[in-house]
Structure 1
């Protein structure tokens, strides 16, 4: 409750700034269209997580900008696919938007060949929103204090090092498989139904290792309940400046982050998509929004339109051969 109260307070400044925008009656055709009716922001995962937080920031900003209600719809189920298919079927006016994590756009199309949507065929990429570093961390009882020591330990004692993930085919599961491939580590995957149960077992010592995103593991690293060995981002994380990247630790080719973006139904007019991208850039560039996300271990990360679409295609091409080579199947 305190977190949501703080979020509302932090967003107040952003909302006030947006209310000072020029009268929309004098704006572009795209602005007038967007101001014509209410918005539905579909978050295909439960309240309380990063998708929900980002959706509410977006909804608050659009409400202030266009003087129209913007309601967050937590349409959960089927690994996010229920909410995604809802947006696929929505009218392409720019008033129904999807806030979604990378896995649903770059992993599931290969992992789940019978999906009820295709990314390129059913959606228009609007903008990325934020990203969070992934962290390789171990229970402090594990003697390895560096990535090199972890790899050596796993080879010296085969099957002794396992890592927790929030599920088969999740981006964190595949990050672990890519780490194993690139480092030569002999590690085992243990899948859980969500980050929480797996994290609890690592904290309790049942599983020695986790690859988790920053918002989930940072409090436990700061408290000393986990030891961070490396981040998988290309650059060191501001939250953990003393923790090396995997590349610095000698493991190349695992420069990956957890990220989130906005999609609109296919057929949404290009000027409307472009205007939404500009609105998102304004909303997420507010200092209060940046500060709130940083406190939760996320950073604002904006890539829009065709560049965002190309990012999705490139990352899909990274995951597809790993899924096929490891014969990973959705459960």
Structure 2
């Protein structure tokens, strides 16, 4: 497999891979529904085509294409929709895609250093950068936990076949993996992302005079929170879904991590998000008056005697509640 050539883009590398194999490798952007894979490999007689979802952000698009390149290079057999591929092979291809991405990024950084440019991680380094990155990674991890818990039936391709654990993020590779898996989960919520909810959250955020970055995070968080609740309640998908993941630079993992961290903070802390969720996806708890109160197993074991009528308990003391009689008409 040839190394990434200049200008270190995904298309240039796929062209070099196709030239080395003697078969052109072509990338085509198509519009896929959320229930289908984000990328498929279609081998034809004269060329191999990688079809990728056109609505993906740049980082997720790169990962999807490299995932299919890994299937091609590793010689995995299966149909285009990956329905008959072993999950272990999917995890192997996803891990290989991570390594290919790191190889492409390192090649671009090495080329920049040869031209006298300092790497971005050194240009932006400050004494407080390490702590800021750890705090940002923690918020992204919380968003990942929330999405994985809210989408238990979703199939999100990971680099392991075991049960995913909310481990602490360490290093750029782990940060990239978290961002990719968050984007995979957000893609599954796309059919329920409403433009009305997003516009309503933006108006409410501007009403409270939030800055542009915070207002954008609040609007995205409200849209995702409502979409998650509607999906859990088996609501029908919206007709014109909103794409809440705008494209970013292919190598700007740190910038996308900060954007996702702002969304995570807004989802957890913002009263604007809570107000939009209460407006667009309220949870109505209906209690049947004929239902008898159910006692917990602990209460049944303790055999607590009920209070007599007319007695109400307040804290550590109790007092008699006198019955109120209506005054007879005089």
Give the TM-score range, shorter chain: under 0.3
Q: Whose RCO is larger (CA < 8 A, sep 6+)?
A: 1
Of structures 1 and 2, the larger Rg is shown by 2
State the TM-score, normalizing by the size of structure 2.
0.27
State the TM-score, normalizing by the size of structure 1.
0.27
Higher helix share: 2
